[in-house]
Structure 1
Amino acid sequence: MGGMSDVRLQLMAKELEAGQQAQVFNAPAGLGRWGLMLHRWHTRRALLQLDDNQLRDIGLSWEQAREEGSKPFWRD
């Protein structure tokens, strides 16, 4: 079963609350510039499609998901 454990999610939530910059999902290694942009586009679009329960599972509020998902794919 792929996914993140509850313990890992709790630790990440604490890092976010503490104001630390947590890099949760890294793009696959070896992507070029266009591959990275495509990866961002897909993942941000998927983030906007999550429901409240799924967002709670990954420790994000709807506002946080909307903010990240609304970024243009060329922005980090």
Structure 2
Amino acid sequence: QQALVLVQFLRSCDEVLLWISDKEAFVTADEFGTDLEHVEVLQRKFDEFQKDMASQEYRVSDVNIQAEKLIG
């Protein structure tokens, strides 16, 4: 039973880390836009990023809860 819980935790961690590494390039980009149209495109991308962050928050919380259960 404990081995199954550990495997599920590791799988969840891998999924969260994969999502984070996928978004890292966007977060570290130094693009500020060269004109109004470019800035508007960047703003839309940022808005999408924020929505994605909000929708993934539960996964990070779940991993934290699983970790607490494993060590506590």
Q: Same fold (TM over 0.5)?
A: no
Ranked by relative contact order (alpha carbons within 8 Å, sequence separation 6 or more), the top structure is 2
TM-score by length of 1: 0.32
TM-score by length of 2: 0.33
Larger Rg: 2
Greater fraction helix: 2
